[in-house]
């Protein structure tokens, strides 16, 4: 007699506040459970810049704070700084070990700094959601000029193979290609190899930055067999419309479904089968009509336990705070993007540490 599958875990809303490309700015942040910073903490990664930014992050009131570097944080890429650091106008020579030391657990216990590695997070505060998730964070971006944490196209697939298949949240400095990565005349600057890997892993949430003009959110519906050669193909995509633009409202992406049909936000915009634009409520990730390229939007699923199917959708958020490209015209700023997402509640009987 076949055994019945284990019960699906209880879910609870968890609020993520997402930001990237602050470049020495220390904006006021909305309240939430988890803060994600997707890189370019500074302009060039000097010790004084990092001290200012780390002090701001430490004071931020979040139960978990997940931080990665970006191409501008050059001292955090010690080999790059050793080879090219004299090209920057630092007031004095920098010590990469001292700069990196600001972000270690011993120096900043409230920060989880990830440099191309995963972590398991459990929210333990008595007043918090008491949920859990697995995150992978990486500072890398495709080579463009002479900057830190860059890689050549030839090594991209091997690099992104490090993203574990059980990752619920992926934080990368670069966007995936064709999603929140357009700059200039609409040209895509994201990474194709990352897009393909995400199509196999199918995390629930991807947070990135790097391309300031690409700020926004898209939800991608994956097609094909999870384990087949076409597992990374896309069936459709919807674009988020920011209810916070030009108003005092938060820039909220609601992936819980609780806002479905209640007129919260401006919703998602896609293309129906006839090519006409359609609009959908903010609702659950995977709910709400048809998506660009056709196909019914389906459920994203929950955290993938052993034997469970991968999700069918991923929400990609480019959370760039700087609104224009670095050094291009007067400084303009975006709001942090708030993401509400249901995650499993952990219990004392769960395996592993978080």
Domain assignment of residue 36, given as a range: 11-344
Residue 341's pLDDT band, with cuts at 50, 70 and 90, is: very high
Question: Is residue 209 one of the residues assigned to a domain?
Answer: yes
Question: Is residue 302 one of the residues assigned to a domain?
Answer: yes
Q: For residue range 87-143, what is the model confidence (pLDDT) as tens digits?
A: 888 989 999 999 999 998 888 899 999 999 999 999 999 999 999 999 999 999 999
Closest CA to 35 of 59, 51, 52, 11: 59
DSSP 255: -
Distance of alpha carbon 180 from alpha carbon 192, whole angstroms: 13
Question: Is residue 351 one of the residues assigned to a domain?
Answer: no
Question: Is residue 56 one of the residues assigned to a domain?
Answer: yes
Question: Is residue 264 one of the residues assigned to a domain?
Answer: yes
Distance of alpha carbon 50 from alpha carbon 303, whole angstroms: 34
Q: What is the CATH number of the domain that holds 195?
A: 3.60.21.10
Element (DSSP H or E) covering residue 52: helix 47-59
Phi/psi of residue 104, nearest 5 degrees: -75, 160
Question: Is residue 165 one of the residues assigned to a domain?
Answer: yes
Token pair for residue 64? 């978990």
Q: For residue range 235-287, what is the model confidence (pLDDT) as tens digits?
A: 999 999 999 998 999 999 999 977 644 434 457 776 343 333 333 333 333 32
Question: Is residue 303 one of the residues assigned to a domain?
Answer: yes
Helix (H, G, I), strand (E, B) or coil at 228: coil
Q: Give residue 290's pLDDT.
A: 29
- Asked if residues 34 and 121 have their Cβ atoms less than 8 Å apart, the reply is yes
Question: Domain tally for the chain?
Answer: 1
Q: What is the DSSP string of 94-122?
A: --HHHHHHTTSTTT-TTEEE-SSEEEEEE
Q: Is the pLDDT of residue 1 over 60?
A: no
Question: Is residue 349 one of the residues assigned to a domain?
Answer: no
Phi/psi of residue 119, nearest 5 degrees: -155, 150
Distance of alpha carbon 288 from alpha carbon 281, whole angstroms: 6
Closest CA to 171 of 23, 62, 319: 319
């Amino acid at each position: 007699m076949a055994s019945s599958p284990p019960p699906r875990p209880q879910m609870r809303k968890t609020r993520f506040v997402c930001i990237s490309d602050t470049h020495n700015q220390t904006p006021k942040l909305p309240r939430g459970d988890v803060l994600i910073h997707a890189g370019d903490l500074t302009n060039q990664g000097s010790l004084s810049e990092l001290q200012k930014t780390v002090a701001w992050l430490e004071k931020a009131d979040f139960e978990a704070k997940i931080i990665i570097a970006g191409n501008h944080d050059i001292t955090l890429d010690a080999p790059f700084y050793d080879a090219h650091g004299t090209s920057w106008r630092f007031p004095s020579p920098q010590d990469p070990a001292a700069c990196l030391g600001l972000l270690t657990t011993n120096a900043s216990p409230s920060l989880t700094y990830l440099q191309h590695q995963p972590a398991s997070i459990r929210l333990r505060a008595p007043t918090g959601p008491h949920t859990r998730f697995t995150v992978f964070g990486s500072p890398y971006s495709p080579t463009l000029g002479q900057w830190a944490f860059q890689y050549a196209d030839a090594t991209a697939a091997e690099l992104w193979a490090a993203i574990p298949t059980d990752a619920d949240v992926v934080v990368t400095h670069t966007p995936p290609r064709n999603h929140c990565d357009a700059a200039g005349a609409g040209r895509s600057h994201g990474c194709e190899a990352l897009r393909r890997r995400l199509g196999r892993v199918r995390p629930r949430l991807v947070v990135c930055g790097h391309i300031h003009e690409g700020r926004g959110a898209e939800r991608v519906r994956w097609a094909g067999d999870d384990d087949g050669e076409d597992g990374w193909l896309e069936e459709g995509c919807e674009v988020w419309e920011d209810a916070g633009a030009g108003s005092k409202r938060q820039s909220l992406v609601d992936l819980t479904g609780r806002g479905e049909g209640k007129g919260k936000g401006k919703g998602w915009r896609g293309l129906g089968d006839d090519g006409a634009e359609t609009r959908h409520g903010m609702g659950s990730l995977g709910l709400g009509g048809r998506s660009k390229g056709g196909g019914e939007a389906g459920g994203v699923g929950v955290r993938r336990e052993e034997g469970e199917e991968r999700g069918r959708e991923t929400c990609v958020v480019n959370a760039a705070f700087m609104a224009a490209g670095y050094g291009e015209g007067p400084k303009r700023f975006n709001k942090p993007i708030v993401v509400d997402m249901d995650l499993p509640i952990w219990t004392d009987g769960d395996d592993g540490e978080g």
